[in-house]
Amino acid sequence: MRAKQIIFILGLIFIPIGFILQEVNLPKLMAKTENFYTQIKIFTSVMETIQRSYLEEKTTEELIEEAIKGVVKNLDPHTVFLPANDFTNWNQNFEGYTGIGIGFEIINGKVTIMSILDSSPAEKYGIHPGDKILKINGDDVTNIPKENIVAKLNGPPGLPITLTLQNLQSSKPREIQLIRERILLQSIPFALMVKQNIGYIKIDRFTSTTSRELDQALKELKQKGMTYLVLDLRGNSGGYLNAAVEVTDKFIPAGNNIVTTKGRLASSYQEFRSTAAKTHELFPMIVLIDHGSASASEIVAGAIQDLDRGLIIGKTSFGKGLVQSQYRFHDGSALLITTAKYYTPSGRPIQRNFFAKTKDEYYREAYNDSISQYDNSLQAEFHTLLGRKVYADGGIKPDIWIKNDNNTLSETLRKLFYSKKRSFHAYIETFRAKNPQIEKRGEKRFIKSFEVTNEILNDFLKFAVHYDNIENMNNLKNADNIKNIQFLLKREMAYMIWGKTAQLRVNLLRDKQLNSGINYFPEAHDLLSLARQLN
């Protein structure tokens, strides 16, 4: 009876809406309606048959969720249905969460705080990296899974939480009570000077706060003497369209097209243009991209390239140029559905071809240098504002291709570094306690001159064998692995002692794309001078 009622209601809803939208050609409309009604009846009959006769019991919710996923699977790689829990987790990347604002790892079975968000409850109450959480609301949290810790820390805003903490300076635990707040994740984790007059800004994601964060970052770097800017979009998988437009607007003179969206429906056509009100001082720019730069990142990079506003350096971006509209449902689930495509100012489509490919093939292809670096012969040719040739075959191709050879870890080393036991951090914690003079000498001296000696290296390898139960250490003893282990120990040591900015500064020491890319600022300066003459 319930199934028939559902079909009847769907029919009543569908007919009047269809009549309003397509008041002409009524016979055709009625034929579509009848077909729709028939297919819904078949679908409902299949569902009832499965529930009644299938080998294993299946709930209505399970069957409907799988049916929806089946429909979505046959559209494009980026249209996706997210059940309530999945959507909540996905959405936290852009709209934040409610908690106390810490990053942590489980080291030696203990919840060890690794980072503190600015202006978060954790910062306000004097919590520091290195502190260990022994209890949450009186419950011992030693040796419990990380996801359980997250669930205990998060909760409704305004709800208090009591932590029992132990820090490095005192063996005696202390108890504090914090109030959970809405935590907005930072879009810009780093904004600093990498050379005397070269500013560096890293954008991790495009959210509702990105524009405001960027204004503040540009202001601070200008006060420090910035006359050249590196904008790092590597690994940035995207975010909100409006945020990408607002970011681009800060670097583009007024009146220029930033991006256009086009789809099947007339309402999907939109053209976004730069404004005078939001544009900052036009510094020569270099934009770093890689295979992980997607969607909103490609909007920014594509506009800056097409309008000759700066040089794009790195590797070809991912090639995601599809607009996902978000439809939320009463149970907390959501459909992210493709409704249009992005086009750069020169008219280039950003989206890479996904036809006749499995989803795995589509994603693997994006990270294949041999495909994305060479061969423009089969690609459509477009031109920038100054007449430079650019090509459209998915993604944004850099003006200057630079590969970061140093950044690839072997599978064996990657497993060790990301193991649940966190061998690197556990060792560094012990090493730090035995060598307090390292911290006393200061961050700058550490970054410039500290070396992981063979003695430290061998000590770490012995530690890792026993701590992480590694059976074959010989796999880690080739030259590349040894070099990478030494680098990772120094980088993570900087992080655990001084925080994420020190970690980044160590990382930048061997960042080939950045260190080679800044040598092209004379070309970026000349490009900007020529482009200004046309605006």
Given the structure tokens 């003006």, which residue do they identify? Answer: 399
Domain-embedded: residue 71: no
Contacts of residue 113, defined as CB under 8 A and 6 or more positions apart, other chains included, come to 102, 103, 104, 122, 127, 128, 129, 130, 131, 132, 133
* Residue where a domain terminates, one of 183, 215, 238: 183
- pLDDT score for 36: 76
Q: Based on the domain organization, do 283 and 374 belong to the same domain?
A: yes
C-alpha dist (Å) from residue 87 to 90, 181, 294, 498: 5, 20, 20, 34
88 within domain boundaries: no
Query: Does the residue 524 lie in any domain?
Result: no
Do 451 and 488 belong to one domain? yes
Residues 292 and 395 in one domain: yes
Distance from C-alpha of 448 to C-alpha of 512, rounded to nearest angstrom: 17
Full 3-state SS string of 29-66: HHHHHHHHHHHHHHHHHHHHHHHHHCCCCCCHHHHHHH
In this structure, the answer to whether residues 172 and 122 fall within a common structural domain is: yes
Which of 424, 429, 414 has its CA nearest to residue 468?
Answer: 424
- Please report the pLDDT score of residue 1 as a whole number: 40
* Bridge pairing between strands 285-289 and 311-314: parallel
Cα R_g (the chain), whole angstroms: 27
- Tens digit of pLDDT for each residue in 196-235? 999 999 999 999 999 999 999 999 999 999 999 999 999 9
Rounded alpha-carbon distances, angstroms, from residue 311 to 103, 287, 319: 35, 6, 18
Query: Does residue 328 lie in a domain region?
Result: no
Q: What is the pLDDT of residues 249-273, one digit of tens each?
A: 999 999 999 999 999 999 999 999 9
Are residues 144 and 272 both part of a single domain? no
**In angstroms, how far is CA 226 from the centroid of its own chain?**
27
Integer CA distances (angstroms), 484 to 51, 413, 530, in order: 55, 8, 43
Residue found under tokens 């810009």 = 188
**The residue type at 86:** D
State residue 471's pLDDT score.
67
Q: Which of 247, 218, 231 is nearest to 524 (CA)?
A: 231
Q: Domain check: are 278 and 215 in the same one?
A: yes
Residue 10 in domain: yes
Which portions of the chain are predicted below pLDDT 70? 1-33, 168-170, 370-378, 405-407, 471-472, 535
Edge to edge, what strands does the sheet with 311-314 contain?
190-193, 198-202, 228-232, 285-289, 311-314, 400-401
Same domain, 132 and 209: no
Q: Based on the structure, what is the number of domains in the chain?
A: 4
pLDDT for 71 equals 86
Identify the pLDDT of residue 169. Answer: 67
Residues 377 and 413 in one domain: no
Can you say whether the dihedral through the CA atoms of 417, 421, 427, 432 is positive or negative? positive
Does residue 18 sit in the same domain as residue 35? Answer: yes
Q: What are phi and psi of 97, to 5 degrees?
A: -150, 175
SS3 for 211? helix
Q: Are residues 421 and 500 in the same domain?
A: yes
In this structure, the answer to whether residues 208 and 273 fall within a common structural domain is yes
pLDDT of residue 472: 65
User: 149, 183, 217: which is the final residue of a domain?
Assistant: 183
Would 113 be classed as within a structural domain? yes
Give the separation between CA 66 and CA 70, rounded to whole angstroms.
6
For residue 363, the SS3 value is helix
- In contact, 521 and 197? CB cutoff 8 Å: no
Listed residues 153, 183, 213: the one ending a domain = 183
Residue 6 CA to residue 101 CA, distance in Å, equals 45
**Residue 169 within a domain:** yes
Angstrom distance (rounded) from CA 386 to CA 534: 8
Domain housing 235: 190-321+340-402
| Domain identity same for 412 and 439 | yes
Is residue 243 assigned to a domain? Answer: yes
Residue 383: which CATH number?
3.90.226.10
Say if CB 98 and CB 86 are below 8 A apart. no
